[in-house]
Chains A and B, each alone.
Chain A
Amino acid sequence: MSLAIKDDEVDIVIGALRSDLTTFMNEWRPMFSRFHLIIVKDPDLKEELKIPEGFNLDVYGKPDIDQVVGSSTSILFSGYSCRYFGYLVSRKKYIISVDDDCLPARDPKGFLVDAVAQHIRNLTNPATPFFFNTLYDPYAEGADFVRGYPFSLRGGVKCALSCGLWLNLADHDAPTQALKARQRNSRYVDAVMTVPAGSLIPISGINIAFEREAVGPALVPALKLAGEGKCRWETMEDIWSGLCVKVVCDHLGLGVKTGLPYIWRTDRGDPIASLKKEWEGVKLMEEVIPFFQSVRLPREATTVEECIVEVANAVKERLGSMDPVFARASKAMLDWIKLWQSVGSSSSRSSAV
């Protein structure tokens, strides 16, 4: 059922927050080497990148970012958000992105998980957001729709985003990880499922893939915490971006999947130290979630760009006065759309609403 895709339809985009990518690239070599890679160096990173030989890749750093988007807008791409520059300059249909402190995981049988292949499978098989299938992914081998699943919904819709998970260091927030210092995620849940339409989910940027041509502009580098740092515990940019994508996908009838593949996230950082910085993010979520749950997009918004502009305006109107971070996020979203239209490749097709 899945579409066969060609290797040259995929870009693997890596945001480099650490300079030595040798182990990372070598461990991922079996899965990455067929594809073109875009490596974007965090503009704040001073050291030279160390990248092993044998990959087909392009590396971008601060000078490139400044040149393409201008130094005033380049602020959008610092820290973890540097990867969004890669999304902007990519010309491929699909993008897969993992954090640079993640390695391939092993499944319960001990085999290395090819996260790239799984993400591609997720994106090229339909999603089923309008009714929950209790056997999870109906297109998986050995599975199907269960009794009671309406036949008219079995064709599914395009899957625009695939959210993977993490073994070892799961993506908990700082308070949780500080409280459960030794907890590591060892549970391998062998399922992919579509997140139902109308339901929001915290999309972690650690291990994602998406169809750039369908939803590229919706992954917005917008929410920058005042104390944003270089650990995931000190960021919320991906959570914000994911909420935008989900709202847009729900509006345009596109699907979002979650579950496999797993990657192995290495231990790094100190949650207690991060706690001070991330507390801001934790508090903001209390406003952010009700906002996204209630945002409504007009029928006239039929492209991803139009949808994001609507969301950005709603953010300014309803959240702008609550905290300056929201007013900045709104502006960043609008700047991003302008950039996408001028620098990005042909924008997404209009989807019938």
Chain B
Amino acid sequence: MATVSPTPLLKDELDIVIPTIRNLDFLEMWRPFFQPYHLIIVQDGDPTKTIKVPEGFDYELYNRNDINRILGPKASCISFKDSACRCFGYMVSKKKYIYTIDDDCFVAKDPSGKDINALEQHIQNLLSPSTPFFFNTLYDPYRSGADFVRGYPFSLREGVPTAVSHGLWLNIPDYDAPTQLVKPLERNTRYVDAIMTIPKGTLFPMCGMNLAFNRELIGPAMYFGLMGDGQPIGRYDDMWAGWCTKVICDHLGWGVKTGLPYIWHSKASNPFVNLKKEYKGIYWQEELIPFFQSVALPKDCTTVQKCYIEISKQVKAKLGKVDDYFNKLADAMVTWIEAWDELNPSGNISAKIPNGASK
């Protein structure tokens, strides 16, 4: 029986991107797990404020002045006064993988009381294949102690590359404002010991609090949109990126996983403030979901950038009439890709559209 080999650290291949407007005290708790890695801190809000990074971490820090300087006029696509600004960190990173985490997320404990090394689990998720074409009822078949179930076709057991690993949260769950208002005391105490691939063709609400992805594969799709200052909407940044990412992953034959690892989310944001931010989104979402469910990407969209530009065209054509915001967002999506390509000129990963099992 093969022994489980230790998870590679990938310390020179992974950047940790952290948006912050407050402070980085939370890093002390993560030190045992994060210290080997390079951090990219994206400082939101007032650029004259100094954010102190705890001693001993290797990092680069960007505030709004840096973003404006580096991107020039293209800086308009990066949100201000919203954690959506984190996607600037993805753009300037030179690494293959990204892990992003919010500054109010701490190390959680598993049911045995052991501290969870979230980053290690994300790396395992990203380095093992996904299985989007047929659902395995025992969840991740590549985990030790699990496998494919009877009836799972052998031709699909190799899986496809994993582009995204979406982790979850104990304690304060990621609820929308109305739910927070109705259930202010609810805490997520259920540890679900599973990782699973979200099937092809299925959308999900992606949360940016505890998220890792293969930047070389899917980076350009991880644009977190126009949120915050001067924008009519907030708290839809990660979801927007998630829907674009999922549509593109489905098209290019890559997988998106959700489940472990858990982090401990400690700060409940103010639900009244959240309601104001989300308000328009709650209505717009009813248009957005059918939109994303029906986006069809042509066969000649063989790179993430081409797919993304195509989506931006469809956003303009179909969502522009919902609100002018979507025209601006579509333009910002194009600006983002232009900025991405400028900062990352080494070329695109072209994916052969898989024949695979059709839907």
A interface residues, Cβ below 8 angstroms from B: 108, 131-136, 140, 142-153, 163, 165, 170-173, 176, 180, 182-183, 185-191, 195-204, 232-233, 236, 239, 242, 258, 282, 285-286, 288-290, 293-294
> Quick one: which of B134-191 are within 8 Å of A by CB?
134-139, 145-156, 166, 168, 173-176, 179, 183, 186-191
The answer for the CA separation of A189 and B1 in the assembled complex, in Å, is: 24
* Chain B contact surface mostly: loop
A187 to B174, CA, bound (A): 26
**Is A233 a contact of B150 with CB atoms below 8 Å?**
yes
Instruction: Tell me whether B203 and A199 are in contact (CB under 8 A).
Output: no
Pairs A–B under 8 Å by Cβ, sample size 14: A131-B202, A134-B174, A135-B188, A145-B176, A146-B207, A148-B285, A165-B137, A172-B149, A173-B149, A197-B202, A198-B199, A198-B359, A286-B155, A294-B358
Smallest CB gap from B198: residue in A: A132
Query: For B150, what are the chain A residues with a Cβ–Cβ distance below 8 Å?
Result: 171-173, 176, 202, 204, 232-233, 236, 239
Which residue from chain A places its CB closest to the CB of B138 in the assembled complex?
A: A170
The reply to whether B202 and A132 form a contact with Cβ atoms under 8 Å apart is: yes
* CB atoms of A202 and B198 under 8 A apart: no
Contacting pair A165 B285 (CB below 8 A): no
Partner of A144, one of B135, B148, B183, B202: B183
Check if B205 is an interface residue, CB within 8 A of chain A. Answer: yes
- Beyond A189-B193, A239-B150, whether A134 also contacts B168 by CB under 8 A is yes
Chain B hits for A285, CB < 8 A: 151-154
The CA of A269 and the CA of B156, in the complex, are separated in Å by: 27
| Residue B286 interfacial (CB < 8 Å) | yes
Please name 7 further chain A to chain B contacts, defined as beta carbons within 8 Å, in addition to the given A170-B149, A189-B193, A198-B199, sorted by A numbering. Answer: A108-B111, A134-B205, A149-B176, A172-B150, A183-B145, A202-B152, A293-B357
Cβ contacts under 8 Å, B202 to chain A: 131-132, 196-199
Closest to B274 in A: A147
What 7 A-B pairs come out closest when comparing CB atoms? A148-B205, A202-B151, A239-B151, A199-B199, A196-B202, A132-B204, A173-B150
Within 8 A of A (CB), among B239-293: 239, 242, 258, 278, 282, 285-286, 289
What's the nearest-Cβ distance from chain A to residue B145, in Å?
6
A147 near B137 with CB under 8 A, answer: no
Distance between B14 CB and nearest chain A CB, rounded to angstroms: 23
> Which A residues are in CB contact (< 8 Å) with B205?
131, 133-134, 146-149
Interface centre among A136, A146, A201 (most CB of B within 10 A): A146
What chain B residues lie within 8 Å of A182 (beta carbons)? 1
Q: What CA separation (Å) do A200 and B151 show in the bound complex?
A: 11
- B151 with A189: CB separation less than 8 A: no
Tell me the complex Cα distance, A299–B292, Å. 23
Chain B neighbourhood of A172, CB < 8 A: 147-150
Q: Are A144 and B151 in contact (CB under 8 A)?
A: no
A288–B151 alpha-carbon span in the complex (Å): 10
Q: Is the CB of B194 within 8 A of A204?
A: no
CB distance from B241 to the nearest CB of A (A): 11
Cα distance A149–B189 in the bound complex, in angstroms: 20
| Contact for A150 among B145, B188, B198, B286, CB less than 8 A | B286
Is the beta-carbon distance between A131 and B289 smaller than 8 angstroms? Answer: yes
Chain B residues with CB under 8 A of A152: 286
> Could you tell me if A135 and B236 are in contact, using CB atoms closer than 8 angstroms?
no
Report the bound CA distance from A296 to B156 in whole Å: 22
Contacts of B286 in A (CB 8 A): 150-152
Decide: B190 and A142 in contact? CB cutoff 8 A: yes
Q: Are A147 and B176 also in contact (CB < 8 A) when A135-B188, A185-B145, A190-B193 are?
A: yes
Within 8 Å CB of B154, what residues of A?
282, 285-286
Which residues in B have their C-beta under 8 angstroms from that of A150?
285-286, 289
A residues near B357, Cβ cutoff 8 Å:
289-290, 293
* Cβ of A165 to closest chain B Cβ, rounded Å: 7
Inter-subunit contact B146/A187 (CB<8 Å): yes
> Which residues on the B side are within 8 Å of A187 (C-beta)?
145-146, 193-194
Q: Tell yes or no: B320 within 8 A of A by CB.
A: no
**Chain A hits for B133, CB < 8 A:** 293
Pairwise interchain contact B186-A142, C-beta atoms closer than 8 A: yes
**Which residues of chain A have C-beta atoms less than 8 A from B151's C-beta?**
173, 202-204, 236, 239, 242, 285
B192 close to A (CB within 8 Å): yes
List of B residues within 8 angstroms of A239 by Cβ: 150-151
- Which of B134, B138, B188, B258 is within 8 Å of A142, CB to CB? B188
B residues less than 8 Å from A186 (CB atoms): 145
